[in-house]
Amino acid sequence: MTPTLTIEALAGDPKRRRKERRVRTLFASAGMVSIAVSILIMVALIGEAWAFISQVELASLFTFGWFPRRGFYDIPTLIVATTLIAGIGMIVAVPLGLGTASYLAEYASPRARRWLKPTIELLAGVPSVVLGFWALTFISPEFVQRLFSAAPPFTMMAAGLGVGVLITPLVATVSEDAMRAVPIDLRLASYGLGANRSVTVRKVVVPAALSGIVASLILALSRAIGETMIVFMAAGAVGGALRTANPLEPGQTMTAAIAALATGSDQVAGEGLAFQSLFFVGLLLFLITLVLNSVSNRFVRKYRERY
């Protein structure tokens, strides 16, 4: 114990303070990497996309189909197929995911929940290439072609159903989290007024968890739009596709178009602008999913703030 204290004694060890500053800088630069990656993505996409859009004949962006190696870049073909497949996926995933989430959050006993939840997470962990294979070898012959005998082996329907299986656990887990975040008091209040469980779930829990549920659906939609392998493997049309909204025909989404072009012969080849067109489609895809994710994040923040 020093009887008198000088200001120097409280200045601290300069070596320690230097080290502290260095560590802080190091960590901060790691934090900046995410910004750098975003910039890189933008640079990578925008450069080639610009090269594409400035050289392509605008008329070839609206023709009858997507055949980049032959110079036909009908963007609507890709948009229609993407919308169709994501739509089919959502038709599957919304009821299955929300039903599963409601059951897990409100009905399942803690014991049942303990093994049901990991099982759903297991399904979420199945890689998309596996679901692509399954969509092609099971969903298509055993389901689509049985229901519609005229359907070919590669259909947007089979791909859409596969995408539905992919995003169901996503809807289920995110919505379940939102429902479980609803305070127990709200439920007790409902029961206290004489409501039964079904009424409580439908009239109290779901409305209270709505922003989280909406977030899960938008997130799932974004994932469906961004999914590549299932569509690439099960929807066919690897060489190119005609513009069609018939789910029982082959089709090509934005993602599959990129994959098909890049995988063609281990080499992005073809008529002049094919390579650049990849990046143009990639940029479109990036922007669409960015908007969806931002909206979804906003909804998530909303329910986080509420409770």
Binders of other proteins among residues 152 to 171 (CB under 8 A) are: 165, 168-169
**Residue from 91, 122, 189, 193 binding other proteins (CB under 8 A):** 122
Asked if 11 interacts with other proteins (CB under 8 A), we say yes
Q: What is the DSSP string of the chain?
A: --SS--GGGGS--HHHHHHHHHHHHHHHHHHHHHHHHHHHHHHHHHHHHHHHHHHS-GGGGSSSEEEGGGTEE-HHHHHHHHHHHHHHHHHHHHHHHHHHHHIIIIIS-HHHHHHHHHHHHHHHTS-HHHHHHHIIIIIIIIIIHHHSTT--SS-HHHHHHHHHHHHHHHHHHHHHHHHHTS-HHHHHHHHHTT--HHHIIIIIIHHHTHHHHHHHHHHHHHHHHH--HHHHHHS--TT-EE----TTS----HHHHHHHHHHTTSS--SSTTHHHHHHHHHHHHHHHHHHHHHHHHHHHHHHHHH-
Asked if 58 interacts with other proteins (CB under 8 A), we say no
Nearer to other proteins, 18 or 306 (CB): 18
Asked if 66 interacts with other proteins (CB under 8 A), we say no
Residue 198: CB minimum distance to other proteins, A: 4
Q: What residues from 188 to 207 belong to the interface with other proteins (CB under 8 A)?
A: 196-199, 201-202
Residue 251: CB minimum distance to other proteins, A: 17
**Residue from 294, 304, 306, 307 binding other proteins (CB under 8 A):** 294
Number of chain positions touching other proteins (CB under 8 A):
104
Q: Let me know: does 79 contact 281? Beta carbons within 8 Å.
A: no
Residue 96: CB minimum distance to other proteins, A: 5
**Residue from 120, 144, 156, 213 binding other proteins (CB under 8 A):** 120
Q: What residues from 15 to 44 belong to the interface with other proteins (CB under 8 A)?
A: 16-17, 19-20, 23-24, 26-28, 30-35, 37-38, 40-41, 43-44
Residue 238: CB minimum distance to other proteins, A: 9
Q: Of the listed pieces 61-69, 82-90, 176-184, 293-301, which binds other proteins according to CB under 8 A? A: 293-301
Nearer to other proteins, 246 or 297 (CB): 297
Nearer to other proteins, 40 or 246 (CB): 40
